[in-house]
């Protein structure tokens, strides 16, 4: 993706994606070309741009106003972001990114790859590569403390949303929803395992599908947390 993005930026045609995308008329599965570029531009500007995400910020701010104030006072408020990054590193939405297809003959990693070849990117393996991550199989959110590594497509050791021309256009919206939801849950509740259950009993086994999810549902017991607010 770093050196051959333009050479591998199309999509292969297969019955499944063709059916769910109404004949490849969407941003995710459409072949690369002028129509896709214009469609992606329209899609991002009108639906998924940061301007659109911020247009509804008032609703989120009304629901989590006290949470935002608390997090602002408790700077550095980077813990939630570090947890999100580490979760996406260990458990990306899907093992393989949406397949790419080469648009011309290209040489990648010493191999001659002909045009119209399907290229698969294993985001799961990249996120667990011991050459890039210390204790790659362990969850350590603090590994991102003071680090500029992000999943915005500029760091190829962390690509849960892809990179280059075919990076997920909904990245900003997805990141905002996940971060606000997680922060709200942590702010409003204290969480505990059911009585008699230990942390070792929690199964982190994943089940496949269009996206990954836990094979065994996570069961937690929430206790409402009432924050005290200063009054004038």
List pLDDT tens digits, range 105-138.
999 889 999 999 999 999 999 999 999 999 999 9
Structurally, how many domains does the chain consist of?
1
- Binding site residue list: 168
List pLDDT tens digits, range 53-110.
777 777 777 777 766 666 565 554 578 889 999 999 999 988 899 999 999 999 988 9
Percent of the chain whose pLDDT exceeds 70: 92
Look at residue 231 and tell me if it is in a domain.
no
pTM exceeds 0.85, yes or no: no
Look at residue 84 and tell me if it is in a domain.
yes
Contact 222, 184 (CB under 8 A): no
Distance, in Å, from the CA atom of 222 to the CA atom of 220, rounded to the nearest integer, reads 6
- Binding site residue list for heme: 168
Region 158-162: mean pLDDT is 95
Region 162-173: mean pLDDT is 91
Instruction: Indicate if the pLDDT at residue 29 is higher than 80.
Output: yes
Look at residue 141 and tell me if it is in a domain.
yes
Distance, in Å, from the CA atom of 6 to the CA atom of 15, rounded to the nearest integer, reads 25
Distance, in Å, from the CA atom of 218 to the CA atom of 90, rounded to the nearest integer, reads 17
Look at residue 13 and tell me if it is in a domain.
yes
Structure confidence at residue 68 (pLDDT): 63
Look at residue 69 and tell me if it is in a domain.
yes
CATH number of the domain bearing residue 102: 1.10.630.10
In which domain, by residue range, is 81 found? 6-224
């Amino acid at each position: 993706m770093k050196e051959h993005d333009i050479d591998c930026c199309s999509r292969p045609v297969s019955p499944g994606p063709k059916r769910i995308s109404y004949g490849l008329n969407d941003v995710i599965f459409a072949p690369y070309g002028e129509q896709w570029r214009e469609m992606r531009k329209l899609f991002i500007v009108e639906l998924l741009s940061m301007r659109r995400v911020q247009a509804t910020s008032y609703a989120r701010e009304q629901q989590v106003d006290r949470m935002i104030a608390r997090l602002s006072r408790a700077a550095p408020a980077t813990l939630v972001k570090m947890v999100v990054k580490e979760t996406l590193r260990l458990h990306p939405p899907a093992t393989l990114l949406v397949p790419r297809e080469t648009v011309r003959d290209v040489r990648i990693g010493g191999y001659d790859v002909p045009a119209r070849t399907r290229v698969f990117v294993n985001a799961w393996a990249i996120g667990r590569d011991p050459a890039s991550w210390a204790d790659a199989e362990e969850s350590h959110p603090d590994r991102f403390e003071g680090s500029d590594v992000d999943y915005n497509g500029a760091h190829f050791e962390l690509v849960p949303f892809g990179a280059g021309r075919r990076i997920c256009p909904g990245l900003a919206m997805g990141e905002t929803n996940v971060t606000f939801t997680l922060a709200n849950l942590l702010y409003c509740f204290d969480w505990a395992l059911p009585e008699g259950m230990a942390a070792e009993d929690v199964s982190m086994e994943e089940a496949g599908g269009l996206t990954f999810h836990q094979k065994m549902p996570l069961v937690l017991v929430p206790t409402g947390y009432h924050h005290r607010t200063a009054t004038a």
